[in-house]
A and B are shown apart, each in its own frame.
Chain A
Amino acid sequence: MIKLPEIDATNPDLELAEYLFDLNGFLIIRNAVPTCRHCGDESMGR
């Protein structure tokens, strides 16, 4: 199974992000945009 190149915006590892983007040409940023204020996280993610 291939593990996709991704980081989590709630705890971003920028060094890893740069490596993964360089290697693959793409990167997934999980929880990048706030989705629901009723879930307890008003700044990032779901």
Chain B
Amino acid sequence: MQSPPADIAEMNQWVDDHSEYIGSTDLDDHSNEHQWIGHIETHTYSGADGTNFQNIIAAGGAFERMIDNPSWIDLIRTFINPVSGLSIHENLLSVRGKGGYIGIHSGGHVPLSYMTFKQEVTGEWMVGQINCITALNDIGPGDGCTTIIPGSHKCGTIHPSMRDGNGIYYSDQAAGNHAGMVELYLNKGDTLIFTDKITHGSTERINEGNRRITLYRYSPRFVSTRFNYELSDELLERLTPERKEILQPIPPRRPPEK
């Protein structure tokens, strides 16, 4: 009997099966039914960042197992702090081709409520958001890798390159072009976790082909989801209790049915 594909192969097969959606997304047009695959929406932030398959957990299988992958979930719980519980702010699969990139953004100076790292009085862990990027293919030089300025989550001085934007995000060029950035190369199956408070972005992809990653963003249970996708009845029924608690940490509260 043929064994089932491992998780990375399974997720890559899903991308191959839906390749007609890559590069066809409009900016923030969620009313276009052709951009939806069931409860998964194809999306782009700016165009340059490529095609995002938002709410990818709805695809089930390996994407669903990623919710509480044992390679990182205990670390995530520790860094957010168990008293805060967990939620997923956003989950997506990103496919980015030649010329694509993400601009420089975030940093210790940003006054957003979830941009925390430690409890400022006691020093306990209290990370407000952790990004968890998993490579579905090898990401090396020229592939549009994630870039980070190590330690910048503790820096209150804004990166000079961000002064030309709104102080939080600057998108006119790839983050990798800016001083202090370190390129992070991943092999398929590797996962990069980082606080969203750190100054980060990506290099511009100059190679042919596509970079494929999943991005699951964890926050305390009190942080709402970015796009508020409704969980389908099918998904809610099949979720393990542990995964359901992460995806729906505060269940809907309704009057009793008569």
Contact = CB atoms under 8 A, between A and B. Distances in A.
24 contacts: A4-B184, A21-B75, A25-B117, A25-B150, A25-B153, A25-B195, A25-B198, A26-B148, A26-B150, A26-B195, A28-B186, A29-B72, A30-B187, A31-B71, A33-B66, A34-B6, A35-B8, A35-B9, A35-B188, A37-B4, A37-B6, A42-B3, A45-B189, A46-B187
Given A17-B75, A35-B188, A29 B193 contact: yes
Contacts of A30: 187, 190
Contacts of A28: 184, 186, 190-192
Chain A contact residues, majority secondary structure: loop
Counting chain A residues whose Cβ lies within 8 A of the other chain, the interface size class is 20 to 34
Given A33-B66, A33-B134, A45-B189, A25 B194 contact: yes
Contacts of A32: 69, 71-72, 134, 189-191
* Majority DSSP secondary structure for residues of B touching A: mixed
Contacts of B71: 9, 12, 29, 31-33, 44
Contacts of B197: 25
Contacts of B187: 30, 46
Nearest to A39: B6
Contacts of B62: 33
